[in-house]
Amino acid sequence: MKYSIVTFGCRVNQADSFAIEEELRRRGDEASAPGDADLVVVNTCSVTAAADQGARQAIRRIVRSNPDVKVVVTGCYATRRPGDFRELPNIVRLVSNNRKDSLVAQLDLEGELTTAVRFSGADGPCGMRLEPGVAGRTALTLRVQTGCDEQCSYCIIPSTRGSGRSRPIVEVLREVGRAVQAGYREIAITGVHLGSYGRDIGDGTTLTGLVQELSEWPDDVVFRISSLEPMDCTEDIIEIAALSARIAPHFHLPLQHGSDAILAAMRRPYTARHYGTVVESIRARIPHSSIGSDIIVGFPGETRGDFMAMTHLLETLPLTYLHVFPYSDRPGTAAAAMADKVGGSVVRDRAQIIRNIAALKSDEFRRTQVGRNMKALTVDDGASVLTGNYLKVRLSEPQPRNFWVTVQIESADPLTGIVVGGTLLH
């Protein structure tokens, strides 16, 4: 059987899709483009109305190009609003997030997957694992936690992912070992609320403990710590990252807003000043680190003063990139019922101002990296590398993919570099 997986949204969804793909390949199934597939799994996001719309459009587009395809829909949108998919074509099953881990087994058991040739062996067909290069991947995204117990007023995810649930650290380390053995040289550690990792286990397991274990990994692999809430990015985690070559010098810390009044309305458990302290601590301890953030523009009640407070904060902080999200109501959230909605044209204008700040920040950071030599991983077709501090650098001469190289940054715009000495680092 030929399959295709279409993924929307966050790194957690990417990790979930990876696990689904591994199960399909264990059956002996073959990856293909959606237009040629017998089965397409659409893993949806529901963080914004645009994400919902994108999933619906993708399903219609897939079926138009492949009228006989079977479509299975999972993810946050499928969990939150399953009725929205009732009229869409070719959908054979909706699988909620709490059943996503067993999606392939459910379909197999109920005869919705074409029978595939089966092979013996714990690791799947002929011992096959998903390895670098499958579906164009070079880095592996590994989910160690899902669910969230926070109550941010704008966020629907706790109702689609449930309460926080962590994988035992022994299981996580076993999966890391398996990935390294398969040939991965970069592994992104992710979760819905990653900073809460271990709290539900109750045996002293913490994210700090996991990061410490990873920092001491004996093989030549880099671990990229995914999005961390500001209150969870502790001095201990920053220190571990500063001292270990195994932890990428890259932090993604969602700010969401720069006004304390709006942060309080969002029910975010920190202040703008606290956020700034965390960012400055990272920059002082790891000077060339990449520090990114998420920003919501146009939250209900956002005044011009609130917006100006945010622009001032962003202009002064040493951030390197921003993801900007115009606010949209999520039915069922506290924010959706709030008054004083910001007009659409105002939201668009303010979002563009923040994007302009983001572009300046990114350009400024890139220019500070010109002339530096950095260890980097060859990605894509080998024509680019990804540095530890999250710069995707185009090479003057392509190299084999999935190798460590030492790259020297030649230019910031466009971001280009050369492999120093031409040696591949195994």
Q: How does strand 404-412 pair with strand 392-395?
A: unpaired
Q: DSSP string spanning 195-221?
A: GGTTTTT-SS--HHHHHHHHHT-SSS-
Give the separation between CA 92 and CA 71, rounded to whole angstroms.
6
**pTM across the whole model:** 0.89
CA angle 319/320/325 to nearest 5° reads: 80
- The answer to whether 118 and 299 have CB atoms below 8 angstroms apart is no
Q: Which residues contact 171 (CB under 8 A, 6 or more apart)?
A: none
Q: What is the pLDDT along the chain (426 residues), one digit of tens a residue?
A: 999 999 998 889 999 998 899 889 888 889 899 999 999 999 999 988 889 999 999 999 999 999 999 999 999 999 999 999 988 999 999 999 989 988 998 887 666 665 433 322 334 333 345 667 665 578 899 999 999 999 999 999 888 999 999 999 999 999 999 999 999 999 999 999 999 999 999 999 999 999 999 999 999 999 999 999 999 999 999 999 999 999 999 999 999 999 999 999 999 999 999 999 999 999 999 999 999 999 999 999 999 999 999 999 999 999 999 999 999 998 889 999 999 999 999 999 999 999 999 999 999 999 999 999 999 999 988 899 999 999 999 998 899 999 999 999 999 999 999 999 645 554
* C-alpha neighbours within 13 Å on the C-beta side of residue 338: 21
Give the separation between CA 64 and CA 34, rounded to whole angstroms.
11
**Domains in the chain, ordered, with CATH?**
2-127 (3.40.50.12160), 138-248 (3.30.750.210), 251-369 (3.30.750.200), 373-425 (2.40.50.140)
Q: Which of 152, 149, 150 is nearest to 265 (CA)?
A: 152
C-alpha dist (Å) from residue 360 to 64, 195, 289: 41, 29, 17
Q: Which of 132, 5, 4, 6 is nearest to 58 (CA)?
A: 6
E strand or H helix at 266: helix 260-266
User: What pLDDT shows up at residue 113?
Assistant: 66
Is 400 buried (19+), middle (13-18) or exposed (0-12) by CB count in 10 A?
exposed
Q: Which residues contact 175 (CB under 8 A, 6 or more apart)?
A: 142
Residue listed under structure tokens 């059987």: 1
Q: Which residues contact 422 (CB under 8 A, 6 or more apart)?
A: none
Is 414 buried (19+), middle (13-18) or exposed (0-12) by CB count in 10 A?
exposed
